[in-house]
Structure 1
Amino acid sequence: MKDDSPSNANIGKFQNRFVTADGQKRASVRLTHPETLWFNTGTLCNIECTHCYIDSSPTNDALVYISADEVSSYLDQIEERGWPIREIGFTGGEPFMNPEMIDMARAALERGYEVLILTNAMRPMMRKAMREGLLDLQHKFGGRLTLRISVDHYCADFHDEERGEGSFSKTLEGMKWLSDNGFRMAAAGRSLWGGTEEENRAGFAAFYAEYSFGIDAYDPGQTVLFPEMDESEEVPEITTACWGLLGKSPDEVMCASSRMVVKRKGAASPAVLACTLLPYSAEFEMGPTLRDAEADVHLNHPHCAKFCVLGGASCSA
């Protein structure tokens, strides 16, 4: 399991959730406009990436499969709490490893939500039962279902360097099937190999054009390019004064608009986390209910600073 504690470069920082190392008031974020509720379907994955932030693999079941009944209970809570949720997101691991993935997506779609599923589009998605289930969802709810495919790089060699030999061709096969059947697709790439954002987006644009994939490489919502989370780098702590200095509002940070539900191995019930990026950090576990998850989030982690406040990242479409 990945250790979410600060690296040596940040020793002395991120120790007190309320106060920074130099005694200033630490910035916090309120849940002002909940738009996306994420469900981690489990950390099991059919592959093991070199730089997976959640350490997903064929053997890591630290987060176990969440069930359709458990998802439905949180959908009930959304209505009870009056959260203005627009989107239900499913991430993993590989979501299509979870045998109830289709049922979970259907439960959200039947209630009128948009659904975003993050997948590598490989063998788990391409199993007959999953393809049949997806086709049924596409037929009934296609306008509200998006599958965001993990395409780390538009070149096969770089993609396979991260995900294993032959991964690119298998993902491409899944993308072709989705495209041929009219599914709405998005993609998620990485900045691991350098290049400017303009160069990377041009590369993805050429890749999409080659296969007639209807994905806009220049729309950050359709092609998400994630910065790398290098935990060895020193990052500043975010104080309340930083909002004005950066010209940024706490409402722009991901934890102002989203939460994630996980089920830990051995736990009696799921728990709600403040952040999709910190699944193993006890400090960011808020409690078992959405009511618990309405508490403020104190930005007491390097990822809060580098990835969200300074990097401006978002996991949502």
Structure 2
Amino acid sequence: MKDVNGPEGLQKFSDPLRTARGETRAEVALTNPDTLWFNTGTLCNIECLSCYIESSPTNDALVYMTRAEVEDYLAQARSRGWSLREIGFTGGEPFMNPEIIGMTEASLLAGYEVLILTNAMQPMMRRRLRDGLVDLHTRFPGRLTLRVSLDHWSARHHDAERGTGSFERSLEGMRWLRDEGIAMTVAGRTVWGESEAEARAGYDALYRAEGFAIDALNPGRTVLFPEMDETVDVPEITTACWGILHKSPDSVMCASSRMVVKRKGAATPTVVSCTLLPYERDFELGRTLAEAERPVRLNHPHCAKFCVLGGASCSA
């Protein structure tokens, strides 16, 4: 796992089968399909400085998913015998999609838990969306969770990433969720030069001040993501790394999840390996869940830094 280029100057992450040093690249089989993600579209009400998916008010590279398309993949999951626990919706901002309530309802009716990633700002706070969320929370108690993107526990750092006033607008949405009793968690980032303990202490103080029923110490309830910078030099993951790192391939996100996206101009959605690589054609697995059951070769810096070495997961 030495961090060097190959003897013939080969570039890292350029060959799906071999690393730059000529070693066998690690791959991960789908062994426990636990979460099926849907990207609801890349349109967002804001534009963050370092959004890995480049969501914005104008980016429609991934277009809106529909309820009918979600229902089709839920049926495929049942027919394939996938033991799914959770359906996740991400974006963009999912509440920009006009069918988000319908897609969520379909997933809940199918018996799954639902996780929606949101900034909890104006799109979520429209009357129709609030009424829809309250209705679903009432009909399916305990099975709907919203994960709010709160990059830092302070307005200063959060607003530097997402725009002046965005911290307070997200808190307004979180206060509404609190008052309605709708479960929420938080996704933050670890790029502010503070230790994890310091970050969690800051979130804990915020939650206590606001009366948010969120556990700051639980990594599944307050998720702290590392910086996703593809230019940072990271080691490639070989088959030998599992033993060196004392890590199982089953612990990596692509062993338990897939994501469905719909590209602009495409007639049908397609399935990709995970939420982190929606644009990478090498990680496109096919149009059906059956095709998407094949192993994923860890041929991207995110695979190494974020998943294998960072141990992160987008699921609840």
Relative to the length of structure 2, the TM-score reads 0.96
Shift of 1:142: 2.4
CA contact (8 A) 2:10 2:20 kept: no
What aligned pairs does 1:49-64 form with structure 2 within 5 A after superposition?
49-64=48-63
C-alpha RMSD of matched pairs (Å): 0.9
Please name the residue that 2:167 is paired with.
168
Give the structure 2 partner of residue 100 of structure 1: 99
Q: Given that residues 142 and 184 in structure 1 are in contact (C-alpha distance below 8 angstroms), is that contact kept between their aligned partners in structure 2?
A: no
1:189–1:225 Cα contact (<8 Å) kept: yes
- Consecutive unaligned residues of structure 2, counting only runs of 5 or more, are 1-8
> Structure 2 matches for 1:73-112, cutoff 5 A?
73-112=72-111
Q: Deviations over 1:182-221 (max 9, x none)?
A: 0001000011212000000000000000010000000001
Q: Equivalent residue for 2:3?
A: none
Partner Cα separation in structure 2 for residue 41 and residue 192 of structure 1: 27
1:179 matches 2:172: no
1:3 corresponding residue in structure 2: none
Q: How does 1:1-317 map to 2 (within 5 A)?
A: 12-317=11-316
Paired residues, number? 308
Q: Deviations over 1:32-70 (max 9, x none)?
A: 000000000000000000010000000000000000000
TM-score between the two structures when normalised by the length of structure 1: 0.96
Equivalent-residue separation in structure 1 for 2:119 and 2:260 (angstroms): 21
Cα distance in 2, alignment partners of residues 96 and 234 from structure 1: 35
Preserved contact between residue 109 and residue 115 of structure 1 (Cα < 8 Å): yes
Residue 6 of structure 1 corresponds to none
How high is the sequence identity, in percent, across the aligned residues? Answer: 67
1:272–1:286 Cα contact (<8 Å) kept: yes
Quote the offset at 1:157 in angstroms: 1.1
Shift in CA distance, 194/11, structure 1 to aligned 2, threshold 3 Å: farther
Distance 1:179 1:68, change over 3 A: same
Once residues 135 and 90 of structure 2 are traced to their aligned partners in structure 1, the CA distance between those partners, rounded to angstroms, is 21
SS in 1 for 2:55: coil
Equivalent residue letter for 1:144: R
Q: Give 2:206's aligned amino acid.
A: F
> What secondary structure, in the 3-state scheme, does the structure 1 residue paired with 2:140 have?
helix
SS at the partner of 1:126?
Answer: coil
In 1, Cα distance between equivalents of 2:23 and 2:229: 25
1:237-261 Cα shifts (integer Å, max 9, x gaps): 1100000000000000000000000
Q: Contact 1:189–1:223 (CA<8 Å) still a contact in 2? A: yes
Distance of 1:232 and 1:267 partners within structure 2: 30
Residue type of the partner of 1:273? V
